[in-house]
Chain A
Amino acid sequence: MISEIASKSGSPVPNLDRWIFRDREAIEQRFGMELEKVLEMYHSDSGRKELLLKMKQIDPSLNGNINQALETVTDNMKELKTKESFLMKMVKLPIRTVKAVANAVMKHPVLSALGALAVIAALVYFFGPAAVGTGEVGTAAAGAFKDTVLGKVVVPTPGMGVGAAADLPVTGGLSDVAAGGMAESAGSLAGESGRFIEGARISEAAVDSIRSAADAIAKDPKIRTVDPIGTFFELMENSSK
């Protein structure tokens, strides 16, 4: 979907996200073999060469990014296997366990808000108009986020640990990253690789934003009131003044 958006926007940015798959079937269809076989090939020199050749045939626009694309798709396969393992474990849990979690979340809106924040970020950042690496569309959407909750929570700069981010005052946001420091730091990187790295950093910043929001909620009891979402926004606004 991300690449479709990029295509509709007229952006020429080749998107390595074309090599990220939601499920096993999609990967197996693309490579014409079982996921385990692809992983096995990745671990041998001759297998890697064969995979690179196949990917180049499928997507000639990869060019200089082909090794990066192979790393991406390999990480993707590992995460898919982790997901499969997790889903199997979830299915085996007693129904009352999942129900107890659902009831607790329904009773405490702040927990639901946190989950909802992640879902909306997932939908907006990674499947919607703010999907990174989509040139003008991504930049415009990052700007649109300036006044939202994700634009108000702290975003770590490259190289800063997640723990350090939690200690910073809540300010700035993704739009600042896109417009300022991030663009500058990525500016020296030439061409497609540079855009890919910039996009990846903004994506990671989005993930860290959610973690920061969780930290804020865990640390400040004021957020857990009658209207946790409203209070959360107010706190974010006050701290950025």
Chain B
Amino acid sequence: MEKVKKTAHILEKIMRTIFTVCGFFAAVLVVVITVFLLISGIPAIKEIGIVDFLFGKVWASTADDPSYGILPFILTSVYGTLGAVLIGVPTGIMCAVFLSETKKGIFGNIVRKTVDLLSGIPSVVYGLVGMIIIVPAVREVFGLPDGANLFSAIIVLAVMILPSVISVSETALRAVPKEYKEASLALGATKTETVFGITIPAARSGIITSVILGVGRAIGEAMAVMMVSGNVPNMPGLFESVRFLTTAVASEMAYSSGLQREALFSVALVLFAFIMLINLILNFAVKKKGK
């Protein structure tokens, strides 16, 4: 009897240790990823010089006299994300308002189902459709020699951020207490005025969270934009073929070597810095909501 108790006790201790290790695994992973990116990213930045690297306007990694300036990539990622947010967020929030107000009804259900479907589509599929439909359409409509440019990428990204913007905003809108709306209605505001004057401002922090999530998704997307943005390291213009931070890494990694390869890791480090910044802002936004 005593023996049974002892082995059970030991087992309990072992399991506690195992679970503790599992628990801290996520934290360890974040540290490992950060360290690996720093170790592999910093040497090239040092060799190129941080100012030349971050603010250099020319990326010519395979030229005889190579030049590694990533300002075009940074600006492209920023503009692309901004453009996607400008188109995707208002549409997404409007759709979220629609969904949170029409609780029942066939049309509401159809819209909800189709948004779910949209969120399940893999990013390469978005890229494929962008290549076949949006790129030729942009070329025809604007009379350009090539439709693979920043504008096409913005359209694809705007569609891709819709599902997360809609679902997070809808949850936030639904969480607004009924009393707020009733007070507004009782004061004589119409239903529409209540939604836009009371419900949306009350759900502000949740909606902001959805926007930040959308920004994170847009800035980190690689495959879909690679297929529609033309992939040329130009300074960004709406109808220029451009290269994003993500696609810079993806397009040259396979055949790179030496300093070029190290510089690609540095590009990834810059992208990682952007993402961490977004995470911190997100954390801050969520905390503020709790207060």
Partners in one complex: no
